[in-house]
Amino acid sequence: MANRFVLNGVSYHGYGAIQAVSEEIKDHHFQKALVTSDPDLIKFGVTKKVTDLLDEAKIAYEVFSKIQPNPTIDNVKKGLEAFKNSGADCIVAIGGGSSMDTAKAIGIVAKNPEFSDIRSLEGAIVSPNGCVPILAIPTTAGTAAEVTINYVITDPEKKRKFVCVDPHDIPIIAFVDPDMMASMPAGLTAATGMDALTHAIEGYITAGAWELSDMFHLKAIEVIGRSLRGAVKNEKEGREGMALGQYIAGMGFSNVGLGIDHSMAHTLSAYYNTPHGKACAILLPPVMAFNADASGEKYREIARVLGVKDVDSMSPKEYRQAAIDAVAQLGKDVGIPDNLKDIVKPEDIPSLARDAIKDACTPGNPKPVTVEEIEALFRSLI
């Protein structure tokens, strides 16, 4: 079967990228925007960097900001109401994955009311009537939701996060401006950056990976590997590298899928509201070790682009360990814990594992996995 590849129509990159927002809205003849953002971004003046530009250009808009990290079904329903009441014809999504994912769900359901219960969006669909056009402006360097065809919604009642995949939800334009990320504190920069690295590594070794996706993922690992430490110190070059690196990872994984690191991370967020990036980051070295013997030569290339010397003279065992060690070192350098002791309650592990195995990311894992193996991975971290 042929491989499908979906990317944004247009994207802007680098400092000053947000300056293009008003012109794009005008060029598309949109009349009014619903701006989706979250309370902290409003508080820290991050959203305002864009709404000031809309004000200047006299573009009509309303703001919806009742979005929490790991956004819920209820957040989407309230956002949908705000969208309908506003009379907007486009959405400007400003924020991390939570704000952009909520925008995607609003945009799809606004055009396809048969999904108004939100839960039925789960899994892979091709929505019949498309999506409200979304212009996306990421404020974290992690999820790359501005270039992916995925969004993730939390169902607090059922204590689970569910992944929705629909080629129609991809933002029509992405504005990837490192200045929008400059206000992230170090811990958030580290966690979201490690989420991006997890996308790049899981996407590189996932079951559906192929030459085109490999090109994006390997480059993303390299750019993230050389940029994340600097971004955490809020250095300009590091921020610039992370804005680009996470986006390149998104271009890849959105089209080929991920693996059990994300399956397990989703359950941790659903049970304990663990920040997504932190969950992904802690799980990454042990999940890489688990998948090592199903990854062919790929860990040699991961080690190489992460700066490990003499990888060509290493045995598979050596270069696989070198890749895992380089990833663990990067996590350590940016302050990521190496265990789940403060997060996971041991008595929850059997049900965490049962939920993780059902996650939409599990089939993408390069190697088949059992519930017992996922349990063992969780146990190895407490």
Ligand X SMILES: NC(=O)c1ccc[n+]([C@@H]2O[C@H](COP(=O)([O-])OP(=O)(O)OC[C@H]3O[C@@H](n4cnc5c(N)ncnc54)[C@H](O)[C@@H]3O)[C@@H](O)[C@H]2O)c1
Contacting positions for ligand X (CB under 6 A): 38, 40-41, 44, 46, 69-70, 95-99, 101, 139-140, 142-143, 145, 148, 150-152, 180-181, 183-184, 188, 192, 195, 276-277
Q: How many residues bind Fe ion (CB under 5 A)?
A: 1
Question: Residue 324 Cβ, how far from ligand X at the closest point, in Å?
Answer: 22
Which is closer to ligand X, CB of 143 or CB of 304?
A: 143
Strands (E), the chain: 10-13, 32-36, 60-64, 90-95, 123-124, 134-138, 150-155, 160-165, 173-176
Shortest CB 293 distance to ligand X, Å: 27
- Closer residue to ligand X, CB minimum distance, 26 or 43: 43
Selection from 33, 47, 163 nearest residue 99 by Cα: 47
- Comparing CB distances to ligand X, the nearer of 252 and 303 is 252
Run of H or E residues at 290: helix 276-291
Strands 90-95 and 123-124: unpaired
Q: How would you classify the pairing of strands 32-36 and 60-64? A: parallel
223 binds, among Fe ion, ligand X, none (CB under 5 to 8 A by kind): none
Residue 70, contacted partner among Fe ion, ligand X, none, CB below 5-8 A by kind: ligand X
**For ligand X, which is the closer residue by CB, 118 or 308?**
118
At 285, list the tokens. Answer: 């070295």
Query: Which residues on neighbouring strands pair with residue 319, listed in sequence order?
Result: none
184 contact choice in Fe ion, ligand X, none (CB below 5 to 8 Å, kind-dependent):
ligand X
How far apart CA 365 and CA 376 sit, in angstroms, is 16
- C-beta of residue 92 within 8 angstroms of C-beta of residue 50: yes
Closest Cα to residue 173, out of 8, 54, 14, 59?
8
Q: Using CB under 5 A as the criterion, what x/- string covers residues 171-200 for binding Fe ion?
A: ------------------------x-----
**Which residues have CB under 8 Å from 243's CB, separation 6+?**
13, 14, 138, 141, 176, 177, 178, 181
Give the nearest distance from C-beta 29 to ligand X in angstroms. 27
- The residue whose Cβ lies closest to Fe ion is 195
Structural contact between residues 167 and 128, judged by C-beta atoms closer than 8 angstroms:
no
> Taking CB within 5 to 8 Å according to partner kind, which of ligand X, Fe ion, none is near residue 192?
ligand X
Closer by beta carbon to ligand X, 44 or else 210 = 44
User: Tokens for 72?
Assistant: 């819920």
Give the one entry of ligand X, Fe ion, none that residue 44 binds, where binding means its C-beta sits below a cut-off of 5 to 8 angstroms depending on kind: ligand X
Cα dihedral: 97, 102, 105, 108 (round 10)? -100
Q: Which is nearer to ligand X, 199 or 300 (CB)?
A: 199
Closest CB 108 distance from ligand X, rounded Å: 13
First-to-last C-alpha distance (Å) of the chain: 42
Closest-by-Cβ residue to ligand X is 97
Q: Which is nearer to Fe ion, 50 or 170 (CB)?
A: 170
CB of 288 to Fe ion, least distance (A): 15
Q: Give the residues lining the site for Fe ion (CB under 5 A).
A: 195
